[in-house]
């Protein structure tokens, strides 16, 4: 069920970025701690230390706030700078940085809690499930698709279908360890095991999509 704003949104004073960040942080805390249905807009406003009117001036309803919270989490863990090809840099190094950041994200308590929440909500609120996927996993896949397409045009890899390759990449990184964490079967892997897993996955991906070279020396025109 969507909690709608009690007042129509419209132009007004500039919004305070600090209050927006506080609202997003509060939403992340309450959604994970109390679930989606158990987190009211009143409670989120109180947790953020803002009025309900201020909350609704930033987010029109709870679904919009949830989507923004998911997006903010992903952008913090996987910033845009990771998906940039730099002249003279090995593409393997680019993929390693992305893979490491993605692996740390998917095994984080926040991510595991969010995935469990979405599984529980899937049958009740498919719209929310789509919003979650579009704001988080789909955004990552699109960023990877663009990067892999550029690598293909630069002949760094042979990737004629970059979206399929992006899905392969993410599936490799998540692996069985993510499922074990999701169902509470195992503890979070330590840093050394995580690093070895990431390196193995990137090496396998590079072999599967081997190109002519592994160093950025052209713009892909």
Domains of the chain: 17-70 (1.10.10.60), 78-208 (1.10.357.10)
Q: How many Cβ atoms are within 10 Å of 211's Cβ, its own excluded?
A: 15
pLDDT in tens, 174-210: 999 999 999 999 999 999 999 999 999 999 999 999 9
The DSSP letter of residue 141 is H
Token pair, residue 211, equals 């190109």
The confidence band for 15, taking pLDDT boundaries of 50, 70 and 90, is confident
Place of tokens 């081997």: 210
pTM: 0.83
Work out the average pLDDT over 21-35: 92
Distance from the first to the final alpha carbon of the chain: 48
The pLDDT mean for the chain works out to 88
Q: Is the pLDDT of residue 219 over 50?
A: no
């Amino acid at each position: 069920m969507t909690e709608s704003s009690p007042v129509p949104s419209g132009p007004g004073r500039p919004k305070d970025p600090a209050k927006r960040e506080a609202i997003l942080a509060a939403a992340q805390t309450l959604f994970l701690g109390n679930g989606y249905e158990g987190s009211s807009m009143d409670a989120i406003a109180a947790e953020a230390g803002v009025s309900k009117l201020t909350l609704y001036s930033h987010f029109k309803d709870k679904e919009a706030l949830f989507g923004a919270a998911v997006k903010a989490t992903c952008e913090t863990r996987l910033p845009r700078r990771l998906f940039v090809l730099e002249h003279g840099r090995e593409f393997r190094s680019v993929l390693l940085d992305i893979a490491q950041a993605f692996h740390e994200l998917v095994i984080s308590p926040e991510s595991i809690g969010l995935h469990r929440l979405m599984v529980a909500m899937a049958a009740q609120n498919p719209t929310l499930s789509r919003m979650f996927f579009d704001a988080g996993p789909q955004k990552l896949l699109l960023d990877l698709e663009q990067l892999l397409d550029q690598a293909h045009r630069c002949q760094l890899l042979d990737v004629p279908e970059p979206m399929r390759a992006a899905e392969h990449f993410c599936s490799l990184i998540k692996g069985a360890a993510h499922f074990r964490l999701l169902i509470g079967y195992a503890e979070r892997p330590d840093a050394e095991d995580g690093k070895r897993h990431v390196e193995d996955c990137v090496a396998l991906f590079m072999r599967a999509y081997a190109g002519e070279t592994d160093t950025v020396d052209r713009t892909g025109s």
